[in-house]
Amino acid sequence: MKALVAILGLDSHWRGAVAVARTLRELGVEILYLGNQFPEEVAEAALQEGAELICLSTLSGSHGELVPETLSALARRGVRVPVLVGGAIPPRDAERLRALGVADVFGPGRSLEDLEAWVRPRPDAQTKGPEPGRA
């Protein structure tokens, strides 16, 4: 599996994205770490690199604008892969992001073990990941 990890916009918080990249790498996932990017750059990189998973980090409060813009940019390019979003995202906003097509939201209280469970194949299903919002 190849995962793209990016920090949305001008957010200066990098620790979560690095922790996600390291966790995925330890699971054998090939990582494309982009650092800070805007929606169009994320979508273009996902298309060009053949990403199979996109992990977006945002702590600046811009998730309400930048995540939907990223989903639209991906759709315009025909990129249909799971998108995970992490950061300081209120539960109300997390539900909205899921309704827009985000596969799962890793907000406060979610652990790296939850991410590992999401990425590892489940023996009883053809899809990956636990039910959205599993705490």
* CATH number of the domain residue 113 falls in: 3.40.50.280
Residue 43 lies in a domain: yes
| Global pTM exceeds 0.95 | no
Residue 129 predicted with pLDDT over 50:
no
Residue 134 lies in a domain: no
pLDDT tens across 75-125, in order?
Answer: 999 999 999 999 989 999 999 999 999 999 998 888 889 999 888 864 443
Residues near 21 by beta carbon (within 8 Å), at least 6 away in sequence: 3, 5, 31, 33, 55
Residue 128 lies in a domain: no
3-state secondary structure (DSSP) of residue 116: helix
Residue 21 lies in a domain: yes
Domain enclosing residue 15, as ranges: 2-119
Two structure tokens written together for 119:
């990425």
Sheet of 83-87: strand order equals 30-37, 2-8, 53-58, 83-87, 104-106
The backbone torsions φ and ψ at residue 82, rounded to the nearest 5 degrees and listed phi first, read -60, 140
98, 104 Cβ separation under 8 angstroms: yes
